[in-house]
């Protein structure tokens, strides 16, 4: 049997695609999910304090608003519940094949369909393949010598060991990114000593988190009330925060808030110096927290900035020769984010492999979604569609709308294939590269937004609103109808989508 659409992944993006397909009356689709549950990062990240630092009314589907969010910034259990509710309300759960890991997908040019292989050796077929595997799904561990020699308990923040009790232990944390900033305040009061190994000091802006009271709840029962909140946060992200990642003047407001928070929450000048960033605001993800600095200021917390040289059986050794003994080591070291679609093998026309051929210099896709020579393949939350300033759900919804429009085009024109032209792809990349050069991500800091060679493969450099406009519908010039037309257009045929 050949499905119309196969979706890989049942997280925020995959569920969005599935719900919208169902709403559009497309019945022939299957969602493949390697785990036993849906939810993506909100299933995997269960560390204490896990939550979203984007406000709930913006970090949710536009078509599934909720009046009863408990607080401004929802925690992981509430987000996972939301996704379960959405899947159930729209009847998606029976369409998900759990415990089904897709290891490879190859385009069959003769049959004009994708063949998917699963880890247990089965094959499935679909005309259109939509990948929805996220950017932050594979934990990255530090590669220090001796990592495996550590005799205590060790785990990654995205694979939190809930069977292990940290009470009264000496605990080490490597990493001070958005995940660590959320769990450090939760574990600091519990442990005897917390040693935080910081490689870079980050910019931390106030979160001003609060629980919604009766007045808010009454407001959110009206569409206008919900929209006002959603619109307000959206506008803040696309103006003030966007300015911050462009090095603009409005971004100075955020920098002021960060500096003021550091000054007021960290009275000790030596600790304050350690926590002062040495790169421009926005170069790495801006952290959003009210309780991170107070946790670091506790008597039982040490911030260690000496370079780590090795992991020993008893703890961590730093460049000054000190061995910092630990009972437990927590890796808050992030994810292999630039390795898009890994470890799947995706094979397009003429046996071309996505990672080895098309992406040899780093992942790239037209509007973050499609690649020449890979017909009927669409990526959700693909290359250069992450945001440092707004909710990625907005990007995902724009992509889903675009893909539905591509399906409509196929139905309307009797086409079996949608394949972006190489010229549209190249023109888009040129514009994208120019725009990326004007952002602070290129300002010399390291981050998960970039490959080892410094190419920014993850972030969208413009406003979310601009992406929405560009993805309104597929332009016929970008998708020439016949395969043999694929190279017929000249670069002059395209002014480029940006
Ligand atoms: P991350 O942002 O990649 O941070 C990893 C941290 O580990 C950084 O402080 C990094 O230091 C440090 N690190 C990595 N390798 C190291 C090594 N070998 N030695 C010493 N330190 C090392 O990872 P994350 O905190 O898990 O967050 C990843 C992304 O997930 C976020 O940017 C965000 O998009 C998403 N997230 C979102 C939320 C939310 O509330 N919306 C919450 C959590 C995560 P350097 O900075 O020096 O590299």
Return the HEC string of the chain: CEEEEEEECCCHHHHHHHHHHHHCCCCCEEEECCCCCCCCHHHHCCCCCCECCCCCCCCCCCCCCCCCCCECCCEHHHHHHHHHHHHHHCCCHHHEECCCCEEEEEEECCCCEEEEEECCCCEEEEEEEEECCCCCCCECCCCCCCHHHCCCEEEEHHHCCCCCCCCCCEEEEECCCHHHHHHHHHHCCCCCEEEEECCCCCCEECCCCCECCHHHHHHHCCHHHHHHHHHHHHHHHHHHHHHHHCCCCCHHHHHHHHHHHHHHHCCCHHHHHHCCCCCCCCCCCCEECCCHHHHHCCCCEEEECCCEEEECCCEEEECCCCEEECCEEEECCCECCCCCCCCCEEECHHHCEHHHHHCCCCCCCECCCECCCCCCEEECCCCCCECCCCCHHHHHHHHHHHHHHHHHHHHHHCCCCCCCCHHHHHHHHHHHHHHHHCCHHHCCCCCCCECCCCCECCECCCCHHHHHHHCCCCCHHHCCCCHHHCCCCCHHHCCCCC
Q: Where are the domains of the chain?
A: 2-138+337-495, 147-331
* Interval between CA 333 and ligand 1 midpoint (Å): 5
Residue bearing the CA closest to ligand 1, atom 35:
178
Pairing of strands 328-331, 102-108: unpaired
CA–CA dist 243, 223 (Å, integer): 29
Does residue 328 have its Cβ closer than 6 Å to ligand 1? no
Cα 176 to middle of ligand 1, angstroms: 6
Give the Å distance between the CA of 129 and the centre of ligand 1: 30
Residue entry with tokens 């969602």: 31
What fold, for 2-138+337-495?
Answer: FAD/NAD(P)-binding domain (3.50.50)
How many angstroms separate the CA atoms of 171 and 328, rounded?
5
Q: Is 458 touching ligand 1 by the criterion CB < 6 Å? A: no
* Closest protein CA for atom 3 of ligand 1: 334
State how far the Cα of 88 lies from the Cα of 107, in Å rounded to an integer.
32
- Contact yes or no for 77/7 (Cβ under 8 A): no
According to CATH, the topology of domain 147-331 is: FAD/NAD(P)-binding domain (3.50.50)
Q: Is 41 in the pocket of ligand 1 (CB under 6 A)?
A: no
Ligand 1 within 6 A of CB of 52 = yes
Beta bridge partners of 331: 156, 174
Residue from 49, 142, 178, 184 whose mutation best tests the ligand 1 pocket (most atoms within 8 A of CB):
178
Which ligand 1 atom lies nearest to the CA of residue 142? 18
Helix and strand totals (H; E) in the chain = 13, 18
DSSP code for 357:
I
Q: Is the pTM of this model over 0.75?
A: yes
What atom in ligand 1 is closest to the CA of residue 447?
Answer: 48
Q: Which two tokens stand for residue 391?
A: 């909710």
Quote the CA–CA distance of 292 and 284 in Å, as a whole number: 17
The answer to whether 242 and 463 are in contact (CB under 8 A) is yes
- Ligand 1 within 6 A of CB of 82: no
Check residue 253 and give its pLDDT. Answer: 94
Q: Identify which of 50, 141, 287, 334 to mutate to test ligand 1's pocket (most ligand atoms within 8 A of the CB).
A: 334
Q: How far is the CA of 193 from the centre of ligand 1 (A)?
A: 22
Please identify which residue in the block is written with the tokens 């009470």: 167
Distance 460 CA to ligand 1 centre (A): 19
Same fold, 2-138+337-495 and 147-331: yes
Q: Which atom of ligand 1 is nearest to the CA of 53?
A: 40
Tell me which residue has tokens 């290891």.
103
Q: For the chain, 498 residues long, give each residue's pLDDT as a single digit of tens.
A: 999 999 999 999 999 999 999 999 999 999 999 999 999 999 999 999 999 999 999 999 999 999 999 999 999 999 999 999 999 999 999 999 999 999 999 999 999 999 999 999 999 999 999 999 999 999 999 999 999 999 999 999 999 999 999 999 999 999 999 999 999 999 999 999 999 999 999 999 999 999 999 999 999 999 999 999 999 999 999 999 999 888 888 889 999 999 999 999 999 999 999 999 999 999 999 999 999 999 999 999 999 999 999 999 999 999 999 999 999 999 999 999 999 999 999 999 999 999 999 999 999 999 999 999 999 999 999 999 999 899 999 999 999 999 999 999 999 999 999 999 999 999 999 999 999 998 999 887 999 999 999 999 999 999 999 999 999 999 999 999 875 444 443 333 333 445
Cα–Cα distance, 416 to 421 (Å, whole number): 16
H or E stretch including 235? helix 223-236
The model's pLDDT over 306-321, given as tens digits with 9 standing for 90+, comes to 999 999 999 999 999 9
For 439-442, the CB contacts below 8 A with 24+ separation are 439/245, 439/246, 439/247, 439/282, 440/244, 440/245, 440/246, 440/247, 440/280, 440/281, 440/282, 440/283, 441/245, 441/282, 441/283, 441/388
Paired tokens of 457: 């493969």
pLDDT of the residue at 488: 40
């Amino acid at each position: 049997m050949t499905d119309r659409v196969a979706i890989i992944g049942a997280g925020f993006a995959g569920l969005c695609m599935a719900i919208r397909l169902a709403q559009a009356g497309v019945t022939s689709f299957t969602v493949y999910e390697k785990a036993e549950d849906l939810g993506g990062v909100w299933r995997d990240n269960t560390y204490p304090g896990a939550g979203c630092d984007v406000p709930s009314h913006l970090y949710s589907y536009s078509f599934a608003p909720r009046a009863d969010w408990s607080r401004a910034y929802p925690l992981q259990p509430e987000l996972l519940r939301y996704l379960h509710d959405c899947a159930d309300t729209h009847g998606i759960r029976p369409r998900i094949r759990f415990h089904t890991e897709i290891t490879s997908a190859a385009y069959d040019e003769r049959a004009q369909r994708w063949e998917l292989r699963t880890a247990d050796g089965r094959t499935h077929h679909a005309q259109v393949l939509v990948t929805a595997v996220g950017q932050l799904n594979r934990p990255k561990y530090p590669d220090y010598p001796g990592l495996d020699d550590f005799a205590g308990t060790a785990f990654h923040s995205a694979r939190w060991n809930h069977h292990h009790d940290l009470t009264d232990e000496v605990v080490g944390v490597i990493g001070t990114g958005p995940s660590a900033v959320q769990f450090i305040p939760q574990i600091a009061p519990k442990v005897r000593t917390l040693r935080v190994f910081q490689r870079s000091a980050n910019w931390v802006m106030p979160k001003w988190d609060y629980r919604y009271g009766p007045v808010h709840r009454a407001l959110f029962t009206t569409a206008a009330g919900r929209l006002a909140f959603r619109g307000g946060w959206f506008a803040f992200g696309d103006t003030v925060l966007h300015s911050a990642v462009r090095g603009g003047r409005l971004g100075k407001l955020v920098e002021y808030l960060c500096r003021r928070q550091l000054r007021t929450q960290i009275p000790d000048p030596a600790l304050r110096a350690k926590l002062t960033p040495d790169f421009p605001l926005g170069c790495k993800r801006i952290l959003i927290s009210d309780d991170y600095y107070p946790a670091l200021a506790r008597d039982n917390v040490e911030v260690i900035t000496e370079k780590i040289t090795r992991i020993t059986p008893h703890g961590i050794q730093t460049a000054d020769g000190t061995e910092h003994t630990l009972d437990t080591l927590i890796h808050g070291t992030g994810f292999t984010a630039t390795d898009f679609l890994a470890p799947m093998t995706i094979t397009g026309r003429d046996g071309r492999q996505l990672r080895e051929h098309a992406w040899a210099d780093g992942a790239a896709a037209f509007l973050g979604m499609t690649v020449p020579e890979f017909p009927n393949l669409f990526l959700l939350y693909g290359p250069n569609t992450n945001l440092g300033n707004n909710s990625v759900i907005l990007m995902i919804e724009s992509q889903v709308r675009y893909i539905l429009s591509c399906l409509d085009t196929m139905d309307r024109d009797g086409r079996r294939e949608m394949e972006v032209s190489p010229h549209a792809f190249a023109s888009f990349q040129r514009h994208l590269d120019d725009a990326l050069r004007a952002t602070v991500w290129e300002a010399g800091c390291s981050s998960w937004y970039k490959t080892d060679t410094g190419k920014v493969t993850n972030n969208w450099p413009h406003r979310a609103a601009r992406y929405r406009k560009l993805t309104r519908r597929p332009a016929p010039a970008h998708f020439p109808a016949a395969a043999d037309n694929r190279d017929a257009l000249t670069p002059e045929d395209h002014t480029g989508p940006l």
